[in-house]
Structure formats: structure tokens, C-alpha cells
Amino acid sequence: MKPIRLAINGRSIETSVEPRQHLADFVREELLLTGTHLGCEHGVCGACTVLIDGAPARACIAFPVALDGASITTVEGLADDPVAARLREAFMEEHGLQCGFCTPGMLIMARDIVLRLPGADDATIRHELAGNLCRCTGYIGIIRAIRTVAAERAAAGEEAVATRCSAVAPPLHISPLTLPVANLLAAARENIAEPASPPTAAAAFMPEPLRNPVEMVQEFEVPAGRPDVLSLFQDPARVIACLPGARLVEPSDGRTLNAEMVVKLGPIQAAFGGRAVISADPAHWTGTIDGQGVDRRSATRVQARLVYVLDEVEGGAATRVRVNVAYVLQGPLAQMSRGALARDLAARLTGAFAANLAAGLRGEAAPLQAAPLNAGALMFAVVADWLKRLFRKR
Ligand code: FES
Ligand code: FES
């Protein structure tokens, strides 16, 4: 048993947990909060959805032992929440429930959707809700109820709420991120002109604007001068070669790329196919990569924007690369885990990218390119790190 501290529905608790006990069993059996339902216990159906640090997550694949210090909200914790109250009314008005088994998870996800996306249309709601299954198949009423509340919030001028908090990831190298760096990246975003008209029909890809992205900032150094690094960032084939599990599916025209990236999540293998466009502002040593893709099997969509700024270090012999990654994940894979774990995984992906980038600039083969990104293995590494930290504290 390991001692942990949690805030559950606003109440602080200190208790001890078995490392193998998942969060859904913990809230149901130890705290008698039985509004959290269990369907598949594999992270697939969404019946067990709760909020962890404000973001929806699957309680059946989250473990209290790894959540020390987190804030958990179950459906009971939304009893007095005005948005959830309006959604409950709308579900009743629109016949959004039949047996009610999926309803706690649906309500938690619905609240997240209307907060983040006021005025969301049916297609957006369907994508956002793709990770919640209703065995009574009453989706039409559920979607109508969510659309109604989202439209009311838009009509009332409610601002979108960022429920999936942005984060500054720990730097891979050198000092912690400081505010001037964030300002520098913001300025870089403004300096980079939106792409001019595409040079070919094949390149007629314009990324959609990101709505409420999760953002993270990273920095690392590579042993090469800025011109070499900038030229690598402007070469789609070399950028793709630095991403584990990624490949170009057709030759790039030098500005847009059509690519696929395979990610393994334990037994699940997701293959995100999509397009990206590369822009640069060489005068300011900055650039962007905008992309969007979909995993057709799970219908999970991802949109991402990477902004980088290059600084000379060691008298120009090396380059410090500062990157801001903003992404939006929609669909079943979006709720697989705690947001902090997803951010750690994104940080580790950036680490693999940096290692491959450095190798590429030295003229060596990318060391982490051979296998697809195994998020499952990375997840174990992340959890292992957390457990080590936990044990160090005792
Ligand atoms: S019980 Fe199905 S996702 Fe957790
Ligand atoms: S209302 Fe029965 S499972 Fe959704």
C-alpha cells in the first residue's frame, strides 16, 4: 500500500492505495462514488470518464498511485455545477438517455465539449464524443442536447474555456524556461507570414486553425550551426526522418508533405495519416510546421502546430532550438490518460526528435527512427519515473 493525497470533488483526502487498483474501483469501492460506471475496463467505452485536473480521462486506466496531488471530479462532484445542470435538463428534454449506463461519462464529456467549444456543430460534437459509447445507441438525442447547450453558450457570448491546461514541459537541456522565451516564441508566430498561395494543386492544403490547443514548450541544443539546422527544418524529408514511426507517403514538393505516423499504445496501433505545411522566416531564424491527420481505425483526429526559434550558442558552433508545440486531439484516443502523462509523452517524443535531429546533423542515421513510437513503452517509462519520484519522497 502506498500513501497518497488527492482532492476528490473538492474534498482533500489522504489514504493508502494498492498500486494495482485503478481509479474507477477506488472511487466506487473506497469512496462509494458509484456514479462512475465501468463498462469495458479497457479504456474503450468512456463509461468511467472523470475529470483529472480538469480534463476528461478514463478512470479504468488511471491509477491513484500515479495521481498523487491530483484533483479528481466525478459526476457527483458536478451536482451543483451550472453547466452540468443545464446539460442534465437538455439530456431530459432531448431524450438523451435510455438505460442511463453511459450517462455519467457522457455528461462529463458533454460539459467539457460545451465549455471548450461554444457553438460546436454536430460534426465537431460527434468527433469529440467518439470515445464515449452508448449501448442503447441513443446518440441522436445526446448530440442534440449537447448542440443545444453549446449554442446557448455561444448566443450568450460565453468565451471558450481551456479545460486542457497548457504546460511548459521540463527542458531537455539547459535552464528552465523563462517568460522571455515564451514571448520570443509568441513573437516568432507573428513574424511568420501565413503561406502564400500554394505552388501546386497537390499542395492546396491549408491547416485549420487550432481551437483551444494544449501547448508545451521545449528547448534543446544540437551540435551544428544555425544555417544547417534551419535548412534541415525546411526539408520535409529530413524532418520526417527525425520522427520515430513517421514516413512520407508521397514525395514532398518541398513545402507540403503527406505523411503517416504509427504510434503503438500497448495492443493498439494507431496510424495517423495526414498533411503538413512548412513555413520559415529565415531573417529571424524561426519557422512553423502545421499539420493535421486522422487515425482512420479509431477516428481520432490530431491537429498540431510547431513553432521553432533558433539561437546561436558556443560561438555559433551549436544551436539552441526552442519549440512551442500546440496540439488538439479529438476522439477516442484523446481521453486515454491523464493530461500530464500525455504531456510527458509529448515531451519524450520531442526528446526522440532532438536526438534524431542531432544525429542527422552529424551525418549519422537517426537512432530512434527504426521502430514506431511505442507510447505504451514510453507510458511505462513515465509511470516508472513517477513511481521512482513517489518512492523517493517516502
Ligand atoms: S470502463 Fe470503458 S473506458 Fe473505462
Ligand atoms: S443510455 Fe443506455 S448505454 Fe447509453
Is residue 39 lining ligand 2, measured as CB closer than 6 Å?
Answer: no
pLDDT in tens, 259-297: 888 876 555 677 889 988 888 899 999 998 888 888 887
Q: Is the CB of 60 under 6 A from ligand 1?
A: yes
Q: Is the pLDDT of residue 328 over 60?
A: yes
- pLDDT over 60 (residue 173): no
Give the pLDDT confidence score for residue 213 in this predicted structure.
Answer: 77
Residue 341: per-residue pLDDT: 57
Question: For residue 52, what pLDDT is reported?
Answer: 92
Average pLDDT along the chain: 79
Question: Is this model's pTM higher than 0.75 or not?
Answer: no
CB 43 within 8 A of CB 78: no
| pLDDT, position 118 | 94
Lowest mean pLDDT among 18-22, 72-76, 185-189, 362-366: 185-189
| 26-35 per-position pLDDT tens digit | 999 999 999 9
CB 288 within 8 A of CB 307: yes
pLDDT band at 300 (very low <50, low <70, confident <90, very high): confident
pLDDT at position 172, please?
A: 35
- Are 68 and 390 contacting, i.e. CB atoms less than 8 angstroms apart? yes
Over residues 176-189, mean pLDDT: 42
Cα 47 to averaged position of ligand 2 atoms, centre (Å): 9
Q: Are 311 and 319 in contact (CB under 8 A)?
A: yes
Pocket test residue of 134, 139, 146 for ligand 2, highest count of atoms within 8 A of CB: 134
Nearest to 341, CA basis, from 13, 133, 43: 43
Q: pLDDT band at 337, cuts 50/70/90? A: low
In this prediction, residues 339-343 reach a mean pLDDT of 59
pLDDT at residue 311, as a whole number: 92
Ordered structural domains, the chain, with CATH:
2-78 (3.10.20.30), 82-155 (1.10.150.120), 167-393 (3.30.530.20)
**For 55-73, how does the pLDDT look when each residue is reduced to its tens digit (9 = 90+)?**
899 999 889 998 999 999 9
pLDDT band at 335 (very low <50, low <70, confident <90, very high): low
- Position 382, amino acid: V
Where residue 177 falls among pLDDT bands split at 50, 70, 90? Answer: very low
Strand duo 318-330 + 300-313: pairing: antiparallel
Q: Is 99 in the pocket of ligand 2 (CB under 6 A)?
A: yes
Give the ligand 1 atom nearest the CA of 44.
3
Task: Please work out whether the CB of residue 43 comes within 6 Å of at least one atom of ligand 1.
Answer: yes
Taking the centre of ligand 1 as the mean of its atom positions, its distance from the CA of residue 57, in whole angstroms, is 10
What is residue 254's predicted lDDT score, i.e. its pLDDT?
81
* Backbone phi, psi, residue 328, to 5°: -130, 125
Percent pLDDT > 90 in the chain is 38
Output phi, psi for 40, to 5 deg.
-90, -25
H/E stretch holding 148 reads helix 139-155
**What is the pLDDT at residue 338?**
52
Q: How far apart are CA 69 and CA 12, in angstroms?
A: 10
State if residue 95 touches ligand 2 by the CB under 6 angstroms criterion: no
How far is C-alpha 359 from the geometric centre of its chain's CA atoms? 27
List, for residues 347-386, the tens digit of each pLDDT value.
Answer: 667 777 777 887 877 777 665 554 455 544 444 444 444 4
SS3 content of the chain, % helix, strand, coil (to 5): 40, 25, 35
**139 Cα: distance to centroid of ligand 2 (angstroms):** 9
Q: Return the closest-CA partner of residue 72 out of 64, 84, 83.
A: 64
pLDDT for residue 25 is more than 90: yes
Q: Whose CA is nearest to atom 3 of ligand 1?
A: 43
pLDDT band at residue 44, thresholds of 50, 70 and 90? Answer: confident
pLDDT of residue 383: 43
Pairwise CA distance, residues 323 & 337, whole Å: 24
For helices 103-116 and 82-93, angle between their N-to-C axes, nearest 10 degrees = 120
Mean pLDDT of 202-230: 74
Atom of ligand 2 nearest to the CA of 106: 4
Tens of pLDDT, residue by residue over 246-258, are: 888 888 888 888 8
CB 91 within 8 A of CB 97: yes
Distance 393 CA to ligand 1 centre (A): 31
Residue 148: the pLDDT is: 98
Q: Which ligand 1 atom is at minimum distance from the Cα of 48? A: 4
Of the residues 34, 45, 129, which should be mutated to test ligand 1's pocket, given the most ligand atoms within 8 Å of the CB?
A: 45
Residue 315 has pLDDT above 70, yes or no: yes
Cα 186 to Cα 153: distance, rounded to the nearest angstrom: 29
